[in-house]
Amino acid sequence: MAEIVVTGIPRRPSPSGGRRPKRDELARFATDDPHAVDDVLPADAERLRLLIVGVNPGLWTAAVNAPFARPGNRFWPSLHRAGLTDHLVDAATGFSAADEWQLLSRGIGMTNLVGRATARADELTREELRAGAARVATVAGELRPAVVAVAGITAFRTAFARPKAGYGEQDTSDVPGWPGGVVLWVLPQPSGLNAHETLDSLAAHWREVWGAVERTGDPGAR
């Protein structure tokens, strides 16, 4: 049987030219550009099963145009430990074709609540986060993945006006514009600064998410 070819929406090359950015180069990526990092999305929206939503790009991530690229971030190790990727992604110098393909071939895409890059997530305004939630709802309605998973509960609580939200599946009945049939899920922020979580606990969260994806069946059936 021929291998299914999955193509993604074209992405820009790394601004750092395939190398790790130097510390003194990072500050120039703290701009108002709302598209600091390209999304990872399949060209065929029907192939999308899980849309992972980060809070916003860090400066290192913007410098190499690759999601969760800063060394020490536990996002990629936790995804790999949970079995969502076949190989451990090292995005510190950029995102390879093999990295992108293994996500898209499993129906996994990536975007952010807010597109501009900052040194810290707490530099974002409430208005930016609220606008980001509205945009994610629109994207979810257009692409209709089985699950949308937001990685960062503090930002989620502000963005979706749910100050007491906990981890796991959310009630979307009162989320403005949220499409029916698309599950909304919240996970911890995977940054190494989040001392409340370990690599094992983060992986456990991702296994729960993937279980929710698999329970929905094929995206074309929804």
Query: How would residue 220 be classed by pLDDT, with cut points 50, 70 and 90?
Result: very low
pLDDT digits (tens, 9 = 90+) for 195-212: 789 999 999 999 999 999
Report the share of the chain in percent with pLDDT over 70. 94
Q: Please tell me which residue, 192 or 221, carries the higher pLDDT value.
A: 192
**Token duo for residue 94:** 């950029």
SS3 51: strand
**Token duo for residue 6:** 């999955």
Instruction: Tell me how far apart the alpha carbons of residues 209 and 200 are, in angstroms, rounded to a whole number.
Output: 14
Instruction: Tell me how far apart the alpha carbons of residues 31 and 36 are, in angstroms, rounded to a whole number.
Output: 8
Predicted pLDDT at 191:
81
Whether residue 138 contacts residue 177, with contact meaning beta carbons closer than 8 Å, is answered with yes
Distances (CA, A) of 202 to 63, 71, 82, 143, 151: 25, 17, 8, 26, 10
CA atoms within 13 A on the CB side of 216: 23
pLDDT digits (tens, 9 = 90+) for 145-188: 999 999 999 999 999 999 999 999 999 999 999 999 999 999 99
**Token duo for residue 197:** 């979580």
Type of residue found at 202: L
**Token duo for residue 76:** 């990629």
Q: What is the pTM of this model?
A: 0.95
pLDDT digits (tens, 9 = 90+) for 122-136: 999 999 999 999 999
User: Could you tell me which residues come within 8 angstroms of residue 78 by beta carbon, excluding any fewer than 6 positions away?
Assistant: 190, 199, 202, 203, 205, 206
Other beta carbons within 10 angstroms of residue 18's beta carbon come to 10
Whether residue 30 contacts residue 119, with contact meaning beta carbons closer than 8 Å, is answered with yes
SS3 204: helix
pLDDT digits (tens, 9 = 90+) for 31-50: 999 999 999 999 999 999 99
Computed over every residue of the chain, the mean pLDDT equals 93
